[in-house]
Structure 1
Amino acid sequence: MCDQDQFEHDRLEYEARGLVTRRQFGVLLGAGVSMMLPRVAGAVTVTQSDVSITTPDGTCDAFFVHPATGQSPAVLVWPDIFGLRPAFRQMGTRLAESGYAVLVVNPFYRVKKAPTAEQGGATPIDQVRPLAQGLNEATHMTDAKAFIAWLDQQKPVARGRKVGTQGYCMGGPMAFRTAAAVPDRVGAVASFHGGGLVTQAPNSPHLQAAATRAQFLVAIAENDDKRAPTEKDALRETFTKANLPAEIEVYAAAHGWCPPDSRVYNEPLAEKAWARLLALYAKALV
Protein backbone atom coordinates (compact mmCIF):
# COMPACT_ATOMS: atom_id res chain seq x y z
CA MET A 1 0.00 0.00 0.00
CA CYS A 2 1.36 3.41 -1.03
CA ASP A 3 4.94 2.28 -1.58
CA GLN A 4 6.64 5.03 -3.57
CA ASP A 5 9.00 2.93 -5.69
CA GLN A 6 6.40 0.28 -6.43
CA PHE A 7 3.81 2.98 -7.14
CA GLU A 8 5.99 4.59 -9.80
CA HIS A 9 6.73 1.22 -11.41
CA ASP A 10 3.02 0.35 -11.50
CA ARG A 11 2.04 3.79 -12.80
CA LEU A 12 4.39 3.49 -15.77
CA GLU A 13 3.18 -0.03 -16.48
CA TYR A 14 -0.49 0.96 -16.39
CA GLU A 15 0.12 4.00 -18.57
CA ALA A 16 1.85 1.77 -21.11
CA ARG A 17 -1.12 -0.59 -21.08
CA GLY A 18 -3.56 2.29 -21.58
CA LEU A 19 -5.20 1.67 -18.21
CA VAL A 20 -4.66 5.19 -16.89
CA THR A 21 -7.11 7.73 -18.28
CA ARG A 22 -6.67 11.47 -17.87
CA ARG A 23 -9.08 13.77 -19.64
CA GLN A 24 -7.73 16.99 -21.14
CA PHE A 25 -10.14 19.03 -19.05
CA GLY A 26 -10.95 18.54 -15.41
CA VAL A 27 -7.88 16.64 -14.22
CA LEU A 28 -6.61 17.87 -10.88
CA LEU A 29 -2.80 17.91 -10.86
CA GLY A 30 -2.42 19.96 -7.70
CA ALA A 31 -4.34 20.68 -4.54
CA GLY A 32 -5.68 24.01 -5.78
CA VAL A 33 -6.67 23.26 -9.37
CA SER A 34 -10.35 22.86 -10.18
CA MET A 35 -11.63 19.71 -11.81
CA MET A 36 -14.73 18.06 -13.18
CA LEU A 37 -16.35 14.71 -12.55
CA PRO A 38 -19.11 13.19 -14.70
CA ARG A 39 -22.38 14.90 -13.88
CA VAL A 40 -24.99 13.16 -11.76
CA ALA A 41 -28.20 12.33 -13.63
CA GLY A 42 -31.06 14.03 -11.80
CA ALA A 43 -28.66 15.74 -9.38
CA VAL A 44 -30.32 17.49 -6.47
CA THR A 45 -29.32 20.94 -5.26
CA VAL A 46 -26.87 20.73 -2.38
CA THR A 47 -25.60 22.88 0.46
CA GLN A 48 -22.01 22.67 1.61
CA SER A 49 -19.90 24.01 4.46
CA ASP A 50 -16.60 23.60 6.25
CA VAL A 51 -17.20 22.30 9.76
CA SER A 52 -15.27 21.58 12.95
CA ILE A 53 -15.91 18.44 14.97
CA THR A 54 -14.79 17.90 18.55
CA THR A 55 -13.11 14.55 19.20
CA PRO A 56 -11.33 13.14 22.27
CA ASP A 57 -8.04 14.26 20.68
CA GLY A 58 -8.92 17.76 19.50
CA THR A 59 -10.88 19.44 16.72
CA CYS A 60 -11.21 17.90 13.27
CA ASP A 61 -11.71 20.07 10.21
CA ALA A 62 -14.10 18.50 7.73
CA PHE A 63 -16.36 19.13 4.74
CA PHE A 64 -20.12 18.61 5.08
CA VAL A 65 -22.38 18.59 2.02
CA HIS A 66 -26.01 17.51 1.75
CA PRO A 67 -29.21 18.01 -0.25
CA ALA A 68 -30.57 21.52 0.29
CA THR A 69 -33.97 20.25 1.40
CA GLY A 70 -35.25 17.31 3.39
CA GLN A 71 -33.35 14.68 5.34
CA SER A 72 -30.97 12.13 3.83
CA PRO A 73 -29.00 9.05 4.87
CA ALA A 74 -25.55 9.98 6.16
CA VAL A 75 -22.22 8.86 4.72
CA LEU A 76 -18.80 9.21 6.35
CA VAL A 77 -15.92 9.41 3.86
CA TRP A 78 -12.34 8.55 4.81
CA PRO A 79 -9.86 9.94 2.23
CA ASP A 80 -6.69 8.27 1.06
CA ILE A 81 -3.20 9.12 2.31
CA PHE A 82 -3.33 12.49 0.53
CA GLY A 83 -6.15 13.60 2.79
CA LEU A 84 -9.03 16.05 2.49
CA ARG A 85 -8.54 18.11 -0.68
CA PRO A 86 -10.47 19.42 -3.70
CA ALA A 87 -10.74 15.97 -5.29
CA PHE A 88 -12.54 14.59 -2.24
CA ARG A 89 -14.70 17.69 -1.88
CA GLN A 90 -15.83 17.04 -5.46
CA MET A 91 -16.46 13.38 -4.72
CA GLY A 92 -18.41 14.26 -1.57
CA THR A 93 -20.48 16.82 -3.46
CA ARG A 94 -21.27 14.32 -6.18
CA LEU A 95 -22.48 11.83 -3.58
CA ALA A 96 -24.64 14.50 -1.96
CA GLU A 97 -26.13 15.31 -5.37
CA SER A 98 -27.18 11.64 -5.42
CA GLY A 99 -29.18 12.13 -2.22
CA TYR A 100 -26.83 11.66 0.74
CA ALA A 101 -25.63 13.82 3.63
CA VAL A 102 -21.86 13.46 3.30
CA LEU A 103 -19.07 14.18 5.77
CA VAL A 104 -15.53 14.10 4.38
CA VAL A 105 -12.98 14.33 7.19
CA ASN A 106 -9.35 15.32 7.56
CA PRO A 107 -7.90 12.21 9.23
CA PHE A 108 -4.68 14.07 10.03
CA TYR A 109 -6.28 16.88 12.06
CA ARG A 110 -4.14 16.04 15.11
CA VAL A 111 -1.09 17.29 13.20
CA LYS A 112 -2.26 19.64 10.48
CA LYS A 113 -5.37 21.18 8.99
CA ALA A 114 -6.29 20.33 5.42
CA PRO A 115 -4.91 20.42 2.83
CA THR A 116 -2.19 18.10 4.11
CA ALA A 117 -0.72 17.20 0.71
CA GLU A 118 0.60 20.22 -1.18
CA GLN A 119 0.12 18.69 -4.63
CA GLY A 120 -2.97 16.63 -3.93
CA GLY A 121 -2.77 13.17 -5.43
CA ALA A 122 0.49 14.08 -7.18
CA THR A 123 2.30 14.60 -3.87
CA PRO A 124 5.25 12.23 -3.31
CA ILE A 125 4.19 9.48 -0.92
CA ASP A 126 7.21 10.01 1.32
CA GLN A 127 5.95 13.50 2.18
CA VAL A 128 2.68 12.22 3.62
CA ARG A 129 3.54 8.75 4.90
CA PRO A 130 4.52 10.08 8.37
CA LEU A 131 1.00 11.46 8.76
CA ALA A 132 -0.51 8.05 8.12
CA GLN A 133 1.93 6.38 10.49
CA GLY A 134 0.56 8.53 13.30
CA LEU A 135 -2.83 6.80 13.09
CA ASN A 136 -3.79 3.41 14.52
CA GLU A 137 -6.68 1.25 15.66
CA ALA A 138 -7.39 3.48 18.68
CA THR A 139 -7.56 6.69 16.61
CA HIS A 140 -9.71 4.96 13.99
CA MET A 141 -12.22 3.88 16.63
CA THR A 142 -12.41 7.11 18.64
CA ASP A 143 -12.66 9.23 15.50
CA ALA A 144 -15.37 7.02 14.01
CA LYS A 145 -17.50 7.33 17.13
CA ALA A 146 -17.08 11.09 17.23
CA PHE A 147 -17.87 11.59 13.54
CA ILE A 148 -20.96 9.35 13.56
CA ALA A 149 -22.22 11.05 16.72
CA TRP A 150 -21.77 14.44 15.03
CA LEU A 151 -23.68 13.29 11.96
CA ASP A 152 -26.53 12.03 14.12
CA GLN A 153 -26.96 15.54 15.53
CA GLN A 154 -27.32 17.24 12.14
CA LYS A 155 -30.77 18.26 10.91
CA PRO A 156 -30.16 17.20 7.27
CA VAL A 157 -29.46 13.62 8.42
CA ALA A 158 -32.41 11.22 8.26
CA ARG A 159 -33.33 9.79 11.64
CA GLY A 160 -33.66 6.03 11.84
CA ARG A 161 -31.70 5.38 8.64
CA LYS A 162 -28.45 3.44 8.66
CA VAL A 163 -25.17 5.26 8.00
CA GLY A 164 -22.75 4.40 5.19
CA THR A 165 -18.99 4.74 5.28
CA GLN A 166 -16.38 4.50 2.54
CA GLY A 167 -12.61 4.61 2.56
CA TYR A 168 -9.82 4.88 0.01
CA CYS A 169 -6.30 3.48 0.40
CA MET A 170 -5.55 3.79 4.15
CA GLY A 171 -9.21 4.81 4.57
CA GLY A 172 -10.32 1.25 3.81
CA PRO A 173 -9.38 -0.10 7.26
CA MET A 174 -10.86 3.05 8.81
CA ALA A 175 -14.19 2.34 7.13
CA PHE A 176 -14.09 -1.27 8.32
CA ARG A 177 -13.35 -0.14 11.87
CA THR A 178 -16.10 2.48 11.73
CA ALA A 179 -18.58 -0.37 11.41
CA ALA A 180 -16.93 -2.10 14.37
CA ALA A 181 -16.92 1.08 16.46
CA VAL A 182 -20.59 1.91 15.87
CA PRO A 183 -22.16 -1.39 14.78
CA ASP A 184 -25.72 -0.32 15.54
CA ARG A 185 -25.47 2.66 13.17
CA VAL A 186 -23.44 1.50 10.18
CA GLY A 187 -25.32 -0.40 7.50
CA ALA A 188 -22.89 -0.25 4.57
CA VAL A 189 -19.11 -0.22 4.22
CA ALA A 190 -17.11 0.35 1.02
CA SER A 191 -13.36 0.09 0.51
CA PHE A 192 -11.61 1.22 -2.68
CA HIS A 193 -7.99 0.10 -3.17
CA GLY A 194 -7.85 -0.23 0.60
CA GLY A 195 -4.55 -1.24 2.17
CA GLY A 196 -4.21 -3.33 5.31
CA LEU A 197 -7.73 -4.75 5.35
CA VAL A 198 -6.42 -8.22 6.21
CA THR A 199 -3.63 -8.84 8.68
CA GLN A 200 -2.56 -11.76 10.86
CA ALA A 201 -3.36 -9.83 14.06
CA PRO A 202 -6.48 -10.60 16.13
CA ASN A 203 -7.57 -6.98 15.61
CA SER A 204 -7.36 -7.19 11.82
CA PRO A 205 -9.88 -4.77 10.29
CA HIS A 206 -11.65 -7.54 8.37
CA LEU A 207 -12.22 -9.56 11.55
CA GLN A 208 -13.54 -6.54 13.40
CA ALA A 209 -15.86 -5.66 10.52
CA ALA A 210 -17.17 -9.22 10.36
CA ALA A 211 -18.56 -8.83 13.89
CA THR A 212 -21.09 -6.27 12.61
CA ARG A 213 -24.30 -6.54 10.57
CA ALA A 214 -23.21 -4.28 7.73
CA GLN A 215 -23.10 -4.96 3.99
CA PHE A 216 -19.79 -4.61 2.17
CA LEU A 217 -18.28 -3.51 -1.13
CA VAL A 218 -14.55 -4.18 -1.52
CA ALA A 219 -12.94 -2.97 -4.76
CA ILE A 220 -9.35 -4.22 -5.01
CA ALA A 221 -6.68 -2.87 -7.35
CA GLU A 222 -5.11 -5.40 -9.68
CA ASN A 223 -1.55 -4.63 -8.57
CA ASP A 224 -2.55 -4.87 -4.89
CA ASP A 225 -4.07 -8.27 -5.63
CA LYS A 226 -0.84 -9.43 -7.25
CA ARG A 227 1.11 -8.50 -4.13
CA ALA A 228 -1.43 -10.04 -1.74
CA PRO A 229 -3.32 -12.65 -3.80
CA THR A 230 -4.92 -14.40 -0.80
CA GLU A 231 -6.47 -11.26 0.70
CA LYS A 232 -9.63 -11.43 -1.39
CA ASP A 233 -10.07 -15.07 -0.43
CA ALA A 234 -9.70 -14.26 3.27
CA LEU A 235 -12.30 -11.51 2.90
CA ARG A 236 -14.76 -13.77 1.10
CA GLU A 237 -14.29 -16.59 3.59
CA THR A 238 -14.66 -14.31 6.61
CA PHE A 239 -17.75 -12.49 5.38
CA THR A 240 -19.38 -15.72 4.17
CA LYS A 241 -18.80 -17.35 7.55
CA ALA A 242 -20.35 -14.29 9.23
CA ASN A 243 -23.28 -14.43 6.78
CA LEU A 244 -22.66 -10.85 5.69
CA PRO A 245 -23.45 -9.66 2.13
CA ALA A 246 -20.17 -8.70 0.48
CA GLU A 247 -19.27 -7.80 -3.09
CA ILE A 248 -15.53 -8.35 -3.54
CA GLU A 249 -13.96 -7.68 -6.92
CA VAL A 250 -10.51 -7.14 -8.38
CA TYR A 251 -10.45 -4.23 -10.85
CA ALA A 252 -8.00 -4.09 -13.76
CA ALA A 253 -6.59 -0.83 -12.42
CA ALA A 254 -3.70 0.38 -10.29
CA HIS A 255 -3.82 1.25 -6.60
CA GLY A 256 -5.39 4.70 -6.35
CA TRP A 257 -7.51 4.54 -9.51
CA CYS A 258 -10.65 6.17 -8.04
CA PRO A 259 -9.83 9.79 -6.99
CA PRO A 260 -9.71 12.00 -10.10
CA ASP A 261 -6.49 13.72 -9.04
CA SER A 262 -4.63 10.41 -8.82
CA ARG A 263 -1.72 9.79 -11.17
CA VAL A 264 -3.31 6.41 -11.97
CA TYR A 265 -6.91 7.62 -12.30
CA ASN A 266 -8.97 5.34 -14.53
CA GLU A 267 -12.26 7.03 -15.29
CA PRO A 268 -14.22 4.04 -16.70
CA LEU A 269 -13.32 1.80 -13.77
CA ALA A 270 -13.75 4.62 -11.26
CA GLU A 271 -17.25 5.08 -12.65
CA LYS A 272 -17.93 1.36 -12.35
CA ALA A 273 -16.84 1.43 -8.71
CA TRP A 274 -18.98 4.53 -8.13
CA ALA A 275 -22.04 2.82 -9.60
CA ARG A 276 -21.50 -0.19 -7.33
CA LEU A 277 -21.22 2.17 -4.36
CA LEU A 278 -24.57 3.79 -5.16
CA ALA A 279 -26.15 0.34 -5.55
CA LEU A 280 -24.83 -0.67 -2.13
CA TYR A 281 -26.18 2.44 -0.42
CA ALA A 282 -29.55 2.16 -2.15
CA LYS A 283 -30.17 -1.28 -0.65
CA ALA A 284 -28.35 -0.98 2.69
CA LEU A 285 -29.08 2.51 4.05
CA VAL A 286 -32.66 1.86 5.08
Structure 2
Amino acid sequence: MCDDLTEADNARLLGEGLSRRAFGTAAAAIGVGILLPSPANALAVKGRDVTIRTPDGTIDAYFVAPATGRHPAVLVWPDIYGLRPAFRQMADRLAESGYAVLTVNPFYRSATAPVLAASGDRSAIRGKAGEYRKLLTPEATIADATALVAFLDKQREVNSKRGIGTTGYCMGGPLVVRTAAAVPGRVRAGGSFHGGGLATDNADSPHLLIPKTRAGFLIAIADNDDARAPGDKDTLRAAFAAAKRPAEIEVYKGAMHGWCPPDSEAYNQVQAERAWARLLDLFSTTL
Protein backbone atom coordinates (compact mmCIF):
# COMPACT_ATOMS: atom_id res chain seq x y z
CA MET A 1 0.00 0.00 0.00
CA CYS A 2 1.22 3.50 -0.73
CA ASP A 3 2.22 5.03 2.61
CA ASP A 4 5.14 6.95 4.12
CA LEU A 5 7.18 3.74 4.32
CA THR A 6 6.62 3.05 0.63
CA GLU A 7 7.45 6.61 -0.37
CA ALA A 8 10.66 6.54 1.68
CA ASP A 9 11.54 3.12 0.28
CA ASN A 10 11.01 4.34 -3.28
CA ALA A 11 13.09 7.47 -2.64
CA ARG A 12 15.95 5.38 -1.28
CA LEU A 13 15.88 2.84 -4.09
CA LEU A 14 15.58 5.50 -6.75
CA GLY A 15 18.69 7.17 -5.36
CA GLU A 16 17.22 10.65 -5.68
CA GLY A 17 19.23 11.96 -2.77
CA LEU A 18 16.40 14.36 -1.95
CA SER A 19 15.10 15.44 1.41
CA ARG A 20 11.57 14.33 2.29
CA ARG A 21 10.30 17.84 1.60
CA ALA A 22 12.21 18.17 -1.67
CA PHE A 23 11.02 14.76 -2.79
CA GLY A 24 7.40 15.79 -2.23
CA THR A 25 7.94 19.10 -4.03
CA ALA A 26 9.58 17.42 -7.03
CA ALA A 27 6.53 15.22 -7.46
CA ALA A 28 4.00 17.95 -6.67
CA ALA A 29 2.64 18.15 -10.21
CA ILE A 30 0.53 15.07 -9.64
CA GLY A 31 -1.04 13.90 -12.85
CA VAL A 32 1.65 15.28 -15.14
CA GLY A 33 3.61 12.39 -16.55
CA ILE A 34 5.04 10.62 -19.57
CA LEU A 35 2.93 10.55 -22.72
CA LEU A 36 1.86 6.96 -23.27
CA PRO A 37 2.04 5.53 -26.79
CA SER A 38 -1.17 4.66 -28.58
CA PRO A 39 -1.65 1.02 -29.55
CA ALA A 40 -1.16 -0.14 -33.12
CA ASN A 41 -4.39 0.34 -35.08
CA ALA A 42 -5.75 2.57 -32.31
CA LEU A 43 -9.45 3.31 -32.50
CA ALA A 44 -10.75 6.86 -32.41
CA VAL A 45 -12.24 7.52 -28.97
CA LYS A 46 -14.55 9.99 -27.25
CA GLY A 47 -14.46 10.78 -23.54
CA ARG A 48 -16.74 12.67 -21.19
CA ASP A 49 -17.03 13.48 -17.50
CA VAL A 50 -19.98 11.71 -15.88
CA THR A 51 -21.70 11.46 -12.52
CA ILE A 52 -23.25 8.32 -11.03
CA ARG A 53 -25.75 8.24 -8.20
CA THR A 54 -25.16 5.87 -5.29
CA PRO A 55 -26.86 5.44 -1.91
CA ASP A 56 -24.05 7.56 -0.42
CA GLY A 57 -23.93 10.39 -2.93
CA THR A 58 -22.71 11.15 -6.44
CA ILE A 59 -19.54 9.67 -7.91
CA ASP A 60 -17.60 11.87 -10.31
CA ALA A 61 -15.89 9.84 -13.00
CA TYR A 62 -14.40 9.82 -16.50
CA PHE A 63 -15.94 7.65 -19.21
CA VAL A 64 -14.26 7.04 -22.57
CA ALA A 65 -14.99 4.58 -25.36
CA PRO A 66 -14.39 4.03 -29.07
CA ALA A 67 -16.30 6.59 -31.12
CA THR A 68 -18.41 3.94 -32.80
CA GLY A 69 -19.80 0.54 -31.89
CA ARG A 70 -20.46 -1.29 -28.61
CA HIS A 71 -17.61 -2.70 -26.58
CA PRO A 72 -16.74 -4.63 -23.40
CA ALA A 73 -16.65 -2.36 -20.35
CA VAL A 74 -13.81 -1.84 -17.89
CA LEU A 75 -14.07 -0.25 -14.44
CA VAL A 76 -10.85 1.37 -13.17
CA TRP A 77 -10.04 2.04 -9.50
CA PRO A 78 -7.15 4.56 -9.25
CA ASP A 79 -4.40 4.60 -6.66
CA ILE A 80 -4.32 6.74 -3.50
CA TYR A 81 -3.79 9.93 -5.55
CA GLY A 82 -7.16 9.53 -7.21
CA LEU A 83 -8.67 10.35 -10.58
CA ARG A 84 -6.29 12.66 -12.42
CA PRO A 85 -4.77 13.32 -15.89
CA ALA A 86 -2.50 10.25 -15.81
CA PHE A 87 -5.47 7.94 -15.24
CA ARG A 88 -7.49 9.71 -17.90
CA GLN A 89 -4.60 9.09 -20.28
CA MET A 90 -4.51 5.42 -19.30
CA ALA A 91 -8.28 5.19 -19.83
CA ASP A 92 -7.98 6.75 -23.29
CA ARG A 93 -5.29 4.26 -24.21
CA LEU A 94 -7.40 1.33 -23.08
CA ALA A 95 -10.37 2.68 -25.04
CA GLU A 96 -8.16 2.90 -28.12
CA SER A 97 -7.75 -0.87 -27.77
CA GLY A 98 -11.51 -1.40 -27.95
CA TYR A 99 -12.93 -1.00 -24.44
CA ALA A 100 -15.51 1.30 -22.84
CA VAL A 101 -13.67 2.56 -19.77
CA LEU A 102 -15.00 4.14 -16.58
CA THR A 103 -12.38 5.59 -14.20
CA VAL A 104 -13.85 6.75 -10.91
CA ASN A 105 -13.12 9.02 -7.99
CA PRO A 106 -13.19 6.53 -5.09
CA PHE A 107 -13.21 9.34 -2.52
CA TYR A 108 -16.44 10.98 -3.69
CA ARG A 109 -17.98 10.67 -0.23
CA SER A 110 -15.50 13.30 0.95
CA ALA A 111 -14.36 15.33 -2.06
CA THR A 112 -14.50 15.54 -5.83
CA ALA A 113 -11.41 14.60 -7.80
CA PRO A 114 -10.49 18.25 -8.60
CA VAL A 115 -10.78 19.22 -4.93
CA LEU A 116 -8.47 16.38 -3.89
CA ALA A 117 -5.97 17.28 -6.63
CA ALA A 118 -5.91 20.88 -5.38
CA SER A 119 -4.90 19.78 -1.88
CA GLY A 120 -1.19 20.39 -2.50
CA ASP A 121 1.81 18.18 -3.20
CA ARG A 122 1.83 14.38 -3.21
CA SER A 123 2.26 14.19 0.54
CA ALA A 124 -0.73 16.48 1.19
CA ILE A 125 -2.91 14.61 -1.29
CA ARG A 126 -1.95 11.25 0.18
CA GLY A 127 -2.72 12.50 3.70
CA LYS A 128 -6.21 13.69 2.78
CA ALA A 129 -6.95 10.62 0.67
CA GLY A 130 -5.83 8.39 3.51
CA GLU A 131 -8.54 9.91 5.68
CA TYR A 132 -11.14 9.82 2.91
CA ARG A 133 -10.35 6.17 2.25
CA LYS A 134 -11.67 5.18 5.68
CA LEU A 135 -15.19 5.59 4.32
CA LEU A 136 -14.50 3.10 1.54
CA THR A 137 -15.44 0.10 3.67
CA PRO A 138 -16.08 -3.36 2.21
CA GLU A 139 -19.81 -2.65 2.40
CA ALA A 140 -19.38 0.71 0.69
CA THR A 141 -17.31 -0.92 -2.06
CA ILE A 142 -20.10 -3.42 -2.74
CA ALA A 143 -22.62 -0.60 -3.07
CA ASP A 144 -20.29 1.41 -5.32
CA ALA A 145 -19.38 -1.54 -7.53
CA THR A 146 -23.03 -2.47 -7.99
CA ALA A 147 -23.97 1.08 -8.98
CA LEU A 148 -21.00 1.48 -11.30
CA VAL A 149 -21.62 -1.78 -13.14
CA ALA A 150 -25.29 -0.84 -13.54
CA PHE A 151 -24.22 2.53 -14.97
CA LEU A 152 -21.87 0.87 -17.46
CA ASP A 153 -24.53 -1.55 -18.66
CA LYS A 154 -26.80 1.39 -19.52
CA GLN A 155 -24.26 3.19 -21.73
CA ARG A 156 -24.82 3.04 -25.49
CA GLU A 157 -21.12 2.34 -26.06
CA VAL A 158 -21.17 -0.79 -23.86
CA ASN A 159 -21.92 -4.29 -25.10
CA SER A 160 -23.68 -5.68 -22.04
CA LYS A 161 -23.60 -9.18 -23.54
CA ARG A 162 -19.82 -9.21 -23.00
CA GLY A 163 -18.14 -9.54 -19.62
CA ILE A 164 -16.83 -6.55 -17.67
CA GLY A 165 -13.20 -6.11 -16.61
CA THR A 166 -11.91 -4.15 -13.65
CA THR A 167 -8.45 -2.87 -12.79
CA GLY A 168 -6.98 -1.32 -9.65
CA TYR A 169 -3.72 0.30 -8.65
CA CYS A 170 -2.27 0.50 -5.13
CA MET A 171 -5.34 0.77 -2.86
CA GLY A 172 -7.43 -0.06 -5.93
CA GLY A 173 -6.07 -3.61 -6.02
CA PRO A 174 -8.31 -4.93 -3.22
CA LEU A 175 -11.27 -3.10 -4.77
CA VAL A 176 -10.82 -5.21 -7.90
CA VAL A 177 -11.39 -8.41 -5.94
CA ARG A 178 -14.29 -6.90 -4.01
CA THR A 179 -15.89 -5.71 -7.26
CA ALA A 180 -15.55 -9.13 -8.88
CA ALA A 181 -17.16 -10.73 -5.82
CA ALA A 182 -19.91 -8.09 -5.58
CA VAL A 183 -21.07 -8.50 -9.18
CA PRO A 184 -19.86 -11.99 -10.19
CA GLY A 185 -22.45 -12.33 -12.93
CA ARG A 186 -20.89 -9.44 -14.86
CA VAL A 187 -17.21 -9.17 -13.93
CA ARG A 188 -15.07 -11.62 -15.88
CA ALA A 189 -11.57 -10.19 -15.48
CA GLY A 190 -9.60 -8.37 -12.78
CA GLY A 191 -6.15 -6.79 -12.85
CA SER A 192 -4.36 -5.62 -9.70
CA PHE A 193 -1.16 -3.59 -10.09
CA HIS A 194 1.04 -3.01 -7.02
CA GLY A 195 -2.13 -3.61 -5.02
CA GLY A 196 -1.86 -3.48 -1.23
CA GLY A 197 -3.84 -5.47 1.30
CA LEU A 198 -4.98 -8.25 -1.01
CA ALA A 199 -4.18 -10.92 1.58
CA THR A 200 -4.40 -10.02 5.25
CA ASP A 201 -5.20 -11.77 8.53
CA ASN A 202 -8.49 -9.89 8.83
CA ALA A 203 -11.85 -11.61 8.57
CA ASP A 204 -12.75 -9.35 5.63
CA SER A 205 -9.52 -9.87 3.68
CA PRO A 206 -10.11 -9.62 -0.10
CA HIS A 207 -8.49 -13.00 -0.80
CA LEU A 208 -11.28 -14.70 1.14
CA LEU A 209 -13.74 -13.44 -1.49
CA ILE A 210 -12.06 -15.24 -4.37
CA PRO A 211 -14.47 -18.22 -4.25
CA LYS A 212 -17.34 -15.78 -4.88
CA THR A 213 -15.82 -14.52 -8.15
CA ARG A 214 -16.13 -15.86 -11.69
CA ALA A 215 -13.25 -13.87 -13.14
CA GLY A 216 -9.76 -14.52 -14.36
CA PHE A 217 -7.10 -12.42 -12.62
CA LEU A 218 -3.76 -10.74 -13.19
CA ILE A 219 -1.93 -9.91 -9.95
CA ALA A 220 1.17 -7.81 -10.72
CA ILE A 221 3.29 -7.29 -7.59
CA ALA A 222 6.00 -4.67 -7.03
CA ASP A 223 9.44 -5.96 -6.09
CA ASN A 224 9.67 -3.90 -2.89
CA ASP A 225 6.08 -4.77 -1.89
CA ASP A 226 7.00 -8.43 -2.17
CA ALA A 227 10.11 -7.85 -0.06
CA ARG A 228 7.94 -6.38 2.72
CA ALA A 229 5.29 -9.13 2.54
CA PRO A 230 6.80 -12.14 0.76
CA GLY A 231 4.08 -14.53 1.91
CA ASP A 232 1.21 -12.64 0.29
CA LYS A 233 1.77 -14.08 -3.18
CA ASP A 234 1.73 -17.63 -1.80
CA THR A 235 -1.50 -16.96 0.09
CA LEU A 236 -3.07 -15.61 -3.08
CA ARG A 237 -1.89 -18.53 -5.19
CA ALA A 238 -3.34 -20.98 -2.69
CA ALA A 239 -6.65 -19.10 -2.56
CA PHE A 240 -7.03 -18.97 -6.33
CA ALA A 241 -6.09 -22.63 -6.67
CA ALA A 242 -8.57 -23.70 -3.98
CA ALA A 243 -11.33 -21.72 -5.71
CA LYS A 244 -10.27 -23.05 -9.13
CA ARG A 245 -10.03 -19.51 -10.45
CA PRO A 246 -7.36 -18.73 -13.08
CA ALA A 247 -4.77 -16.19 -11.95
CA GLU A 248 -1.43 -14.97 -13.22
CA ILE A 249 0.53 -13.86 -10.15
CA GLU A 250 3.98 -12.38 -10.68
CA VAL A 251 6.51 -10.22 -8.89
CA TYR A 252 7.83 -7.66 -11.39
CA LYS A 253 11.53 -7.64 -10.62
CA GLY A 254 13.05 -4.19 -10.31
CA ALA A 255 9.62 -2.52 -10.38
CA MET A 256 8.81 -0.53 -7.26
CA HIS A 257 5.43 0.26 -5.76
CA GLY A 258 3.62 2.63 -8.09
CA TRP A 259 5.53 1.60 -11.21
CA CYS A 260 2.52 1.64 -13.58
CA PRO A 261 0.98 5.16 -13.65
CA PRO A 262 3.07 7.41 -15.92
CA ASP A 263 3.08 10.28 -13.41
CA SER A 264 4.57 8.18 -10.60
CA GLU A 265 8.10 8.86 -9.38
CA ALA A 266 8.53 5.08 -9.48
CA TYR A 267 7.30 4.74 -13.08
CA ASN A 268 9.15 1.93 -14.85
CA GLN A 269 8.31 2.12 -18.53
CA VAL A 270 9.59 -1.32 -19.50
CA GLN A 271 7.79 -3.13 -16.72
CA ALA A 272 4.68 -0.94 -17.04
CA GLU A 273 4.43 -1.82 -20.72
CA ARG A 274 4.82 -5.51 -19.92
CA ALA A 275 2.09 -5.33 -17.30
CA TRP A 276 -0.13 -3.45 -19.76
CA ALA A 277 0.39 -6.14 -22.40
CA ARG A 278 -0.52 -8.85 -19.91
CA LEU A 279 -3.71 -6.95 -19.04
CA LEU A 280 -4.72 -6.70 -22.68
CA ASP A 281 -4.08 -10.41 -23.08
CA LEU A 282 -6.30 -11.17 -20.07
CA PHE A 283 -9.09 -8.98 -21.44
CA SER A 284 -8.85 -10.49 -24.91
CA THR A 285 -9.36 -13.99 -23.53
CA THR A 286 -12.04 -13.28 -20.91
CA LEU A 287 -14.22 -10.38 -22.06
**TM-score under structure 2 length normalisation:** 0.91
Q: Which residue of 1 is the match for residue 282 of structure 2?
A: 280
CA contact (8 A) 1:66 1:156 kept: yes
CA contact (8 A) 2:109 2:135 kept: no
Q: Which residue of 2 is the match for residue 9 of structure 1?
A: 9
CA distance in 1, matches of 2:233, 2:33: 35
Describe the shift of the 1:276–1:119 C-alpha distance in structure 2 as closer, same or farther (beyond 3 A): farther
Amino acid at match of 1:66: A
Using the TM superposition, give the Cα deviation of residue 72 of structure 1 relative to its aligned residue in structure 2, in angstroms. 0.3
Q: Which residue of 2 is the match for residue 72 of structure 1?
A: 71
Using the TM superposition, give the Cα deviation of residue 100 of structure 1 relative to its aligned residue in structure 2, in angstroms. 0.0
RMSD: 1.9
Describe the shift of the 1:71–1:15 C-alpha distance in structure 2 as closer, same or farther (beyond 3 A): farther
Q: Which residue of 2 is the match for residue 49 of structure 1?
A: 48
SS at match of 1:259: coil
Identical positions, percent: 56
Structure 2 regions of 5+ residues with no counterpart?
A: 17-26
CA distance in 2, matches of 1:222, 1:47: 36
Matches within 5 A, 1:114-129: 114-115=113-114, 116-118=116-118, 122-124=122-124, 125-129=126-130
CA contact (8 A) 1:31 1:120 kept: no
Matches within 5 A, 1:178-217: 178-217=179-218
Amino acid at match of 1:104: T
SS at match of 2:265: coil
| Count of residue correspondences | 275
| Structure 1 runs, 4 residues or longer, greater than 2 Å off | 9-12, 31-35, 117-128
Using the TM superposition, give the Cα deviation of residue 11 of structure 1 relative to its aligned residue in structure 2, in angstroms. 2.6
Structure 1 regions of 5+ residues with no counterpart?
A: 17-27
CA distance in 2, matches of 1:98, 1:61: 24
User: Per chain length, whose mean CA-contact separation is higher, i.e. which structure has more relative contact order (CA < 8 Å, sep 6+)?
Assistant: 1
**TM-score under structure 1 length normalisation:** 0.91
Describe the shift of the 1:235–1:187 C-alpha distance in structure 2 as closer, same or farther (beyond 3 A): same
CA distance in 2, matches of 1:276, 1:12: 29
CA contact (8 A) 1:121 1:263 kept: no
Q: Which residue of 2 is the match for residue 92 of structure 1?
A: 91
CA distance in 1, matches of 2:41, 2:188: 25
Q: Residue 160 in 1 paired to residue 146 in 2?
A: no
Q: Residue 265 in 1 paired to residue 267 in 2?
A: yes
Amino acid at match of 2:216: Q
Using the TM superposition, give the Cα deviation of residue 33 of structure 1 relative to its aligned residue in structure 2, in angstroms. 4.1
Describe the shift of the 1:179–1:47 C-alpha distance in structure 2 as closer, same or farther (beyond 3 A): same
CA distance in 1, matches of 2:68, 2:249: 34
